[in-house]
Each structure stands twice: as C-alpha cells, then as structure tokens.
Structure 1
Amino acid sequence: MAPLLPVVSRTGFRLSVIVAAVLLAGCAAGPDYVRPAVETPAAWKETGAWKTAQPQPADSQHPWWEAYGDSILNTLVAQANAANQNIRQAEAQYRAASAAADAARAGFFPTAGVSAGAGRALTNSNGIRLGNNENLGFAASWQPDLWGSVRRSVEAGNAGAQASADDLAGAQLSIQAAVVQDYLQLRVTDQLRELYAATTLAYTRALELTQHQYEAGVALRSDVALAQSQLKTAQAQGTDLDAQRAQLEHALAILTGRPPAAFSLAPATAEHPFEARLPASPPGLPSELLERRPDIASAERHVAQANANIGVATAAYFPSLTLSASGGFSAAQFGTLFNTPSRVWSLGAALAQTLFDGGLRRARTAQAVATYDASVAQYKQTVLNGFQQVEDNLSTLRVLDGEARLQDEAVQASQLAERLALAQYRAGSANYLAVVTAQNLSLANQRTAAQLLGRQLAASVSLITATGGGWNAPTTESRKPTP
C-alpha cells in the first residue's frame, strides 16, 4: 500500500486549490464592454454646432412642462405621474429587473443548509438487523467563479436593471408628453369653440340684417337663404368641435388614472382664458440633450447586457470547480446523537468538464453574439431616430413660426374686409354674396391661425420629448429612478 500523504501536504494542497481558484477568479471569459461608436454629423442641419453624443442616464423628474406656464397642466401631469397605470407597470418591471440582478449576484456566495432526520430500517448486511437511525447535519458548497461566468451574469443583470430604469424614465416621459399634448390640443379646441360661438353670433346678426333688408324690399330672398345657410353651417362645425373636445377630455382622464365619468375640465373662456404660452426654443441644442433620451440610454444598456451574456456563454467551455463541506451527527439512538463517536464530517473538491454536448455551447455562444449584433444595430438606429426627430421638430417650429406671422396678417386683412363688406351692404353698395365671401374668408383665416398655434404647441412638446425632457434637465448620476 502506498503511504498516506502527510497532513501538512494535504493541507497545502487544499490551500493551493483555494489560491488557484481565487487567482483564476480574476479572469472573466468573453469580451470587455466598449460602447459602440456611432457616426454623427458635425452640426445640426437646422441650427448650431454640437458635440458627439454619448448616452447618459435620463432625468425623468425635471418638470419641463412648467415652461408652458399653465397651472392646470402642471396639476394634471402631477396626477399622471402618481396614478398612470403604464408608469406603474414600468416601475414594477424595473423592480423585477433589479431583483434579477440581485439573483445573479448571489452566485458569488456559497450555499449552506441544515438537515435533520430519523428512520427505522431492516437490513440484511452482516445478518438481518432492525435498527433506528437519527441524524443532524450541516452542509455547504461553493463554486468559485473561475472564468467570470458569475461576474458576467452580474454585469448582464446590472445592465438589464439599468435599461429597465431608463425604460421607466421613458414611460414617464411618454405619459407626461401625452398629457401635455392632449391638454394643449383641448385648449386649442376651446379657442376654436369660442371662435365659432362668436362667429354664430355675428352670423345671427347678419341674418337679422338681411331679413330686415328683405322686408324693406332692398334685398333678395336669396340673401336671406344664403345667410341662413351660412349660420347653420357654422353651428354644425362648432358642434363637431364638442366631440373632439370630449375625446381629448376622456384621454386625459385615462392618462391621470381615472375613468372618464369621474373627470372633467371647465372650458377656457374670455373670463378664464387659456394660460399656456409657447416656450421659446433655444438658439442651439447641445448634444447633451440627446444624451438624456431614455430610449437611447436603454438601448445602450441592452448592448452592454448582450455583451456580458457572450461572456456567460463563453465560460461554459471551461471546467467548473465545486468545493463542499459537511458535518453533523449520526447515531442509532437519539440519546447518543451528540456523543463524540456520532460526529461525522467531510470535505471535498470536484472538478467537472463537459467533453461533448452536441454543439450546445457553440450554438449558445453564436446566439449570444447574434443578440449582441442585433442590440448594437438597435442602439445605432435609436440614435439616428433621435437625430431625425430633433431635426424634424426644429424645422417644423422654424417653418410654423414664419407661417404664423403671415397668418396673423391674413387674419387682420380678412377681418377688415369683412367689416368693409358688411358696411357696404348696409349702405346698399354691395350684394350679400360679397359679405358671405368676406365672412367665410375671415372665419377660415382665424380657424387656420388657431390650428397653427396647436401645431406649434405640438411641435414644441415633440422637440422637448426628442431631447429627453427639456434643455434645462440636469444629468443624473444614477439610473435608479426616484420613487
């Protein structure tokens, strides 16, 4: 028989195994993460120079909607932030992703447990024997992270949690933008309703004038019919605006977490006018604004997650080491369970390596690489979409600004033409068709002016949303959202 190894040699061997495990744990399979490069132009097409963008955490808490200066709007956004169900869903998904990251982190630590049992058995080894067995034990095992599989899993989990936090910021920003858009369009609809209310009043007076003129024999019956047709058309168009306003009000109810029956907004009137103002666009938008877009930040984190998963798949090619230890008591009778002869213990180490798996590891690695390539493409496309959205809304605001000034001049000219045509009709120097033409032109120009305001407000909200929530939002240091 070969001599037994000395105790010191066995102890040194175990220490060597542990030291080797610790040293190997400094390695991590798979590529280290490098943010994908995105080709960017030197300047915005619509306005000023900007620097190369680098995705940063989104700041969903900046009250960018306050720039519109409407107290009712501020209240509605606060209610949506607190009660919207899409935000609650995104917040729960963030908590789930954070828990998944914590679960991956548990792989760094050993597992331990206790067991207790009692049994009675009949055996026939060395003669038939009937006996009892009592046992109480403790067992622990640990699998050192030799090739960085756990570390890569933690990287992937952290990146996934960070992406989920950005998705939550994106959901908040999306809901905020929807509330602002719907509210502003509702107020523009109120302006149009006021316009049609004033118009129907003016058309009613014009109808009365034509009736008096007809009764006096200085107007034709066709003038009266024309005035009646014009009045009814304006009343019908004004009534149609009620349906549009109701739908916008219903949408705001759902966005703020309430059923439509429990929500209403008083219309804006001359006594209680629309308070919102169009925020002035800054002369140049630096790229830091694009960096705070939640969708870009989330897409970049998904790239990091996919990169870490390549390391997890690659680590499966290497052997795994498991260290185990157990101890406890085992006896035939409970009274002798804790005696010294009943003590049992064991220490062990096992090294395992898969030799053949039918190409499973190779397929999983190829899948991880393909997922990474797809996430890189998605990230770059998200950045490009961000560029387009900013450019689109900058150009829209620029064009609408000039169009609005021209439209204001058209409104003033058409209102003057309406007054002159009506005065000439009263004096008998013009027929009623000229009055109708001037009134229709004035109404059309005023309606177009109100609609232009709505388009400007919508484009300004889209621009703020495209830049991640406003140009004054500070960069956050953590992706963890504020509860």
Structure 2
Amino acid sequence: MKAIQHIGLSALSLSLISCAVGPNFKTPESTAGDRYTAQALPEKTASTDTVGGAAQTFQNGADIPAQWWTLFGSDKLKALVEQALKANPNIEAAQATLRVAHENALASASGLLPAVDGQLGASRQKVANVPGPGTSIYNVLNAGVNVTYNLDVFGGQRRVIESAKAQTEYQRFQLEASYLSLSSNVVTTAIREASLRAQIAATEKIVESSSKQLDVLKRQFELGGAAKTDVLTQQTQLAQLLATLPSLRKQLDQNRNLLAVLLGQLPSQTIDAQFELTDLTLPETLPLSLPSKLVQQRPDVRAQEALVHQASADVGIATANMLPQITLSGSYGQAAPNTGNLFTAGSNIWSLGAGLTQPIFRAGELTHRRRAAVASYEQSVAQYRATVNVAFQNVADTLTALSADAETLKAQRDAFQAAEASHAIAGKQYSAGSISYPTLLTAERNYQQAVIDLAQAQAARYADTAALFQALGGGWWNRSEDDNSNNATPSASNGSTTTAKAN
C-alpha cells in the first residue's frame, strides 16, 4: 500500500513540474488608436427648444454606469428592464449554458488526479481434473481498491482544462452580451412606442382638422362658394390621412407584442406601462470610454477572445496526443474463499503496473488534426480582429448619428414651426377668401409631414443615446455584487486603464 502511495505522489509531482506543449495563450493585438472617428467630433451636440432637444456633451474617459437605462429618468422604463432581466427565457437559457460550461470545466480538472475505484466481488468456480483429494468447486471473495493515474508529462490534460475554462469564459461573456442586448431592446422598444404614439396623436389631430375643413367646404359648396372638385380633393386628403392610422396602430400593437416577449410574457398579457416622449429625459452628459478600453468592455469582443484562448489550448491538446502517454496503475485488496477469512493475515493481494503508449502509425491522422487545430486558431484570431473592427465601427456610427441627428432635430423643429405658422395663416386667408383651396391644401400637407418628422427626429435622439451605451459595452463591469446575485450574472474582470483622447 505504501508503495502505491509513493508512486502516486511521485507521479503527481512529476506531472506538476512538467511542461505543457503547445502555444501559451496571449491576447491578440489590436490597434485601438486614440479616437473612434477619422474626423474629430464636436464636444457638444446642437440643441433646440423641444422634447429631446437638449445639447449632449461627451465626457472622454468617463465610465458607464451598470444600470445606464436609469439615465433616461423614467421609473417605468427602469422597472421594465429589471423585469426583463429576471423573466426573459433567453437569459435563463444563457445562464444554464454557463452553468453547463462551468461544471464541465470542473469535471475536466479531475484528470490531474488519480482515479480511485473500490471493488467488491464474489464468484463460485469449478476447476476440471483437480488431482488428489478435495473438491473442484470453490468460492472466491475479494475486496480491494484500484488506482489509475495518467501521467500528464506533456501537459495534454492541463490543456484540456485550459480549453474548458476558456469555454466557460466564452459563455460568461455570451451571458453578458445577452443582458446587454435585452436591456437595449427594451429601451429602444419603449422609445419606438413613444414615437409611434406621438405620430398617431399628431395624425389624429390633423384628421380632426381636415374633417372640420371638409365640413366647411361642403357648406360652401351648398352655398355656391366652393367647387365640387375642392370637396372631392379634401375628401381624398382626409381618406389618405385616415389610411395612415391603421398602419401606425399596427406598428404600435406589434411593438407592444415585442415588448411583452422581451419581458418574458405572452403578447396576450397586459403591460400596464405606456410610453410617451415626454416620459423620457434625454441624458445631457454622455460617458465616452477610451478606445484603448473598448476591447475590454465589449462582451462580444471578450467572448471572441475566449474562443481564441480555447483554440490555442486545443493546439496544445493536439500536440500532446502525438507524444507518449504514460499510465500508472495499482491495486490493493483481500481475497479468500469465505467471508470469515477475507480479512485475515495472508489474504491480502496487491499489484503495481505502468504502461507507455506511443503512436507509431496513424496514417497521418494526428499530424493533420494538429494542423487543423492550428488553422482553427488562426481562424479565431482573424475573427477576433473582425469583431474588434465592428465594435469600433458601432461606436463611430453612433457618435456620428448623435451629432447628425441633433442637427436634424434642430432643422425639423424649425421646419415644424414654419409649417405650423404657415398652416395657421393659410387657414385664416382661405376663410377670408384671399387664397385658393390648393394653396391651403399644400399648407395642410406640409404641416402634417412636419409634425410626423419632428416626432421621428425626437425619438431618433433617444434611440441613438441608447445605442451608444450598447456600443460601449453597457457598463457590466460596474455591476455590484448584489446585482450579480440578483441577476445571476457572473463577475468578469475588466482590463487595465489607460489614458488617451477619445472622439
């Protein structure tokens, strides 16, 4: 028994001090630069006196709060996001997938330790042609312990563990990506609802105004003061306005259905919260992470980095499979013809063994598998670089959109004010008989379009702001331990902090 213990300890020590073949993982290099866009963006966006028209200032190097959606100042929105994070089945699936990877990683760690199995057996045998007196039938009882240990001289098992841990890390950041995507979708769906409600309300007001105008035209026609073509044209205009309402209401209903699914509900279940643009506050200060930190903050980039790590470890596994595999085994136990003698002196039995397996001829299988592992590693590195490029593109596109949409809203506000004033004047002039009906109709159409364009431009600023938080990674690294336990979100380390200029 002591001999088995000595051999096991010696083998374990040799395994721990031996090297692991294959490449050691290094995070792929990425050139972040000191800015997101080719041209410098203004430090502050344009502003205008309307809903969602506040100027937004970029804070270079500032951090993103974990619950970034609270910056929109809506308790209803905050409650919906929290409900979605707790009840959405896609989050539950991602959490379960992470647990699977974690348990598999723990299971793979057992390969560094000996496997010990207890054995208890009983048999009755008959032996032919037994010489001398006695019986040819006898019993054999045995009890013992078997120990098997695969000596990890070249680190193949350690690479297996490394690969399993990398897969766990990948699933960890896939979960973070699911959280980020879900929270962003809830926010943008609420913003879209607010925009649709604004467009519906504006269209209904215009329909009401057009209906009144049609009544006036009908009375004028009866009195001979208006042409039949004017009445028919107004009826056409009103019918066209009414035709836009079902489409807008359909979009609103479908948007509410989407919101219900995001919350983990069926579309038939009622959602009490409803959103108007006035329910939301546009964040005036926007944190802008340094480009050098983006690769550490984006869950998709971190997930792809974990895949590179896994592919690197797989190269080591394939390399170790080409080298000798050493196995040590031993057993110790008792054997006797009956239970009374099973544990008496002289009934003990033991054995020690060692084996070495060296692949000699596999028709090139192991060589090709290693080449395939190397190619897979190169593929994962290329995909990592592509993911990083897309991450920077997302931020650059959003920054450009924030600046451009602020200018667009300012222009739409000016257009709305002009159209509103023109519509009011045209109505008075037509009543006084100083302009023709086609002129009034043109003013009405311009006003209708200006109202809808203004609502869309207001919603775009809110949506772009949410997109910026999503593009920068969503602030998961600032989540507290309480948030982690409540949301079943595993912690993950953030990268080092550097100083640079972001724009």
Asked if these proteins are the same fold (TM beyond 0.5), I'd say yes
Instruction: Check if 1:112 corresponds to 2:116.
Output: yes
Aligned to 1:367: 372
Matching of residues 56-95 of structure 1 within 5 Å: 62-95=66-99
| Contact residue 310 and residue 365 of structure 1 kept, 8 A | yes
Q: Is the 8 A contact 1:249 1:265 kept in 2?
A: no
Contact 2:91–2:179 at 8 Å: present in 1 too? yes
Match of 1:150 in 2: 157
Residue of structure 2 in register with 1:378 after alignment: 383
Checking the alignment, whether the CA contact within 8 Å between 2:304 and 2:380 is kept in structure 1 is: yes
Q: How does 1:439-450 map to 2 (within 5 A)?
A: 439-450=444-455
Letter in 2 for 1:62: A
Aligned pair partner of 2:281 in 270, 273, 277 = 277
Normalising by structure 2, report the TM-score.
0.85
CA-to-aligned-CA distance 1:67-96 (integer Å, 9 cap, x gap): 222222212111111111111111111111
Superposed displacement of residue 476, structure 1: 8.7
1:326 aligns with 2:326: no
Q: Which residue of 1 aligns with 2:309?
A: 304
| Deviation sequence 1:385-407 (CA, Å, 0-9, x none) | 11111111111121111111011
User: For residues 265-315 of structure 1, what are the alpha-carbon distances to aligned partners after superposition, in whole Å with 9 as ceiling and x for unaligned?
Assistant: 56557xxx6411333363854122452111000001111111111111111
For 2:374, the aligned partner's letter is V
1:244-275 residue CA offsets vs partner (Å, 9 max, x unmatched): 10100111111111111113456557xxx641
After TM superposition, the score normalised by the length of structure 1 is 0.88
Gaps of 5+ in 2: 43-62, 492-503
Cα 1:61–1:48 shift into 2, 3 Å = closer
> How many angstroms apart in 1 are the aligned matches of 2:223 and 2:15?
108
Task: Quote the Cα distance in structure 1 between the aligned partners of 2:13 and 2:366.
Answer: 25
**Amino acid in the other structure paired with 1:22:** S
Structure 2 Cα separation of the partners of residues 105 and 347 of structure 1: 25
The alpha-carbon deviation at position 443 of structure 1 amounts to: 0.7
Which residue of 14, 26, 35 corresponds with 2:27?
A: 35
SS at match of 1:139: strand
Please identify, of 202-211 and 109-118, the stretch whose mean Cα deviation from structure 2 is larger.
Answer: 202-211
Q: Cα RMSD (Å) of the superposition?
A: 2.8
For the 8 Å contact 2:188–2:463, the answer to whether it is kept is: yes
Pick aligned residue for 1:161 from 158, 168, 172: 168
Distance 1:171 1:16 in 2: 49
Identity %: 31
For the pair 1:316 / 2:308, whether they are aligned, the reply is: no
Q: How far has the Cα of 1:201 moved from its partner?
A: 1.5
Alpha-carbon contact 1:188-1:450 (below 8 Å) kept: yes
Gaps of 5+ in 1: 1-9, 50-58
Moved more, 400-409 or 311-320: 311-320
Residue type matched to 1:85 in 2?
P
Residues 76-475 of structure 1: matches in 2 within 5 Å?
A: 76-124=80-128, 126-127=130-131, 129-265=136-272, 267=274, 274-280=278-284, 282=286, 284-287=288-291, 288-469=293-474, 474=478
For residues 473 and 146 of structure 1, the distance between their equivalents in structure 2, rounded to whole angstroms, comes to 38
Which amino acid in 2 is paired with 1:87?
A: I
Paired residue total: 460
CA distance in 1, matches of 2:270, 2:380: 42
Give the Cα–Cα distance (whole angstroms) in 2 for the partners of residues 219 and 342 of structure 1. 122
Alpha-carbon deviation of 1:456? 2.5
Letter in 2 for 1:186: E
Asked whether the equivalents of residues 295 and 302 of structure 2 are also in contact (C-alpha less than 8 Å), the reply is: no
Deviation string 1:416-469 (CA, Å, 9 cap, x unpaired) is 111111101111111111111101001111111111223333322222211111
1:111, distance to aligned residue in structure 2 (A): 0.9
Q: CA deviation at 1:481?
A: 2.6
Matches of 2:395 and 2:248 in 1, distance apart? 31
* 1:268–1:206 distance in 2 versus 1, CA, 3 Å: farther
Q: Which amino acid aligns with 2:66?
A: H
